Amino acid sequence: MTPPDINPASAATQLQQAALDHNWDDGLALPTELANHPHCDLGVAMLLFWLAEGTYWYAKTSRDGEHNQEWRTFCSALAQRITSGHYKLGESSFRTNLGAAQKAKFRSQGVPEIFLTDVVGTAPAPDW
């Protein structure tokens, strides 16, 4: 599956919508394409990380196994890119929708602050 035709004027928000519309039971081919898309900014990457439930990978609360190797590889690559600054602040915004207790729990599990922080781009954050 490939991402939809992208209008450069609203590319990042279109990538976010494609991530929201994706049936994650269909695999990670499309999310990987979205993460690798030249218009993928920090807001898109954060949405992908959260939709993939990357915090479970980061906190190492899921078992390693053959059945989740693709997911672990996706989460690892996306987390590395996010924490290294590969994705820049741009058009898209993202809200974590986390309360103080949830943030404290994730911090105690070693999840870096960047994953617990909202991203404010030029477009409003999508509801997810």
Residue-wise DSSP of the chain: --PPP--GGGHHHHHHHHHHHS-GGG-SHHHHHHHHSTT--HHHHHHHHHHTTHHHHHTT-S---GGGHHHHHHHHHHHHHHHHT-SPP-S--B-----HHHHHHHHHTT--GGGGS-B--SSPPPP-
How much is the pTM?
Answer: 0.89
Domain range for 89: 8-116
Q: Helices 11-21 and 29-36, interaxial angle, to 10°?
A: 170
Q: Classify residue 124: in a domain, yes or no.
A: no
Examine residue 126 and state whether it is found in any structural domain, yes or no. Answer: no
Q: For position 128, what pLDDT does the model report?
A: 87
In the chain, how many domains are there? 1
Q: So what's the pLDDT on residue 61?
A: 67
> Is 127 contained in some domain?
no
* pLDDT given at position 73: 94
For residue 29, tell me if it sits in a domain: yes
Q: Is 46 part of a structural domain of the chain?
A: yes
Any domain includes 40: yes
Mean pLDDT confidence for 49-76: 84
